Structure 1
Amino acid sequence: MITIGSVVWGVRDIPGAVEFWTAALDYELRREPDIDWAMLVPREGEEGIQLSLKLTNSDAPHRHHLDLFADDQEAEVRRLLALGASEVAWEYEEGADYVVLADPDGNRFCVVRG
């Protein structure tokens, strides 16, 4: 059997990404971050997948994204925008159940109606 141990997210600013993603996901640092790497985990007693942040200087297209499932999609989108996320111009199909946002590093993610 194999399971996902971590999702690795390329960022250009480790401290900024730690600040955004810990607040966005209600995660905490697993241990003190390195200059080029940080591991985020759910707060004690919570379930979820580890998110690892890797420093990158690449301008390559982003080929990864997270789908964040939300019971109250509108409230979560507002909260994430207030934390520093930005809206992404996107052509949504009729009846789309997701909103595309970008984190402060420009990495896209979706907030999906739970």
Structure 2
Amino acid sequence: MLRVGSVVLGVSDVPRTAAFWTEALGYVPREEMADDRVVLVPAEGTGVQLSFDLSETPLQEHPRIHLGLYAGDAADQAAEIERLVSLGAQRVDRGLYPDDADFVVPADLEGNRFCVIDTVHH
């Protein structure tokens, strides 16, 4: 049976992206970081790895794949969004998303969008 082991994203600045996601998720590099690739793993146990590879492909404003991060309730979600913004994440205009959505969409330092989901309503 297959299972997801790693989510791989192309980025233009591997060290900068790794630093953001290390702080955002509490992940650590699996091995010494290279300028063109790094694999991050959960510091506390097992879980899905994040791999960032150097890419010259242009950023998609509305990517077909993204990370979905689970928060607790709406208060946890709001606190996590504020924490991520303090790390450099950008708020994304909600114009494309329903007003009553259980998710909020920020973007990381590279502009890669991801969701922070209120799991009480999920």
- The TM-score with structure 1 as length reference comes to 0.93
Give 1:90's aligned residue.
94
The one-letter amino acid of 1:38's match is V
Cα distance per residue 1:68-104 (max 9 Å; x no partner): 0001100000000000100111223142110000000
More strand per residue: 1 or 2? 1
Q: Aligned ranges for residues 12-27 of structure 1 at < 5 Å?
A: 12-27=12-27
Superposition RMSD on alpha carbons, in Å? Answer: 1.2
SS at match of 1:16: helix
User: Which 4+ runs in 1 deviate beyond 3 A?
Assistant: none
Alignment counterpart, residue 102 of structure 1, candidates 101, 107, 117: 107
Structure 1: which 5+ runs fail to align?
none
Give 2:33's aligned residue.
33
Say how many residue pairs are matched. Answer: 113
Cα distance per residue 1:38-87 (max 9 Å; x no partner): 0000004x332000001111115233210100011000000000001001
Structure 2: which 5+ runs fail to align?
none
The one-letter amino acid of 2:71's match is A
SS at match of 1:79: helix
Question: For 1:83 and 1:9, how far apart are their aligned partners in 2?
Answer: 19
- The TM-score with structure 2 as length reference comes to 0.87
Give 1:77's aligned residue.
81
Give 1:67's aligned residue.
68
Deviation of 1:8 after TM superposition, in Å, equals 0.2
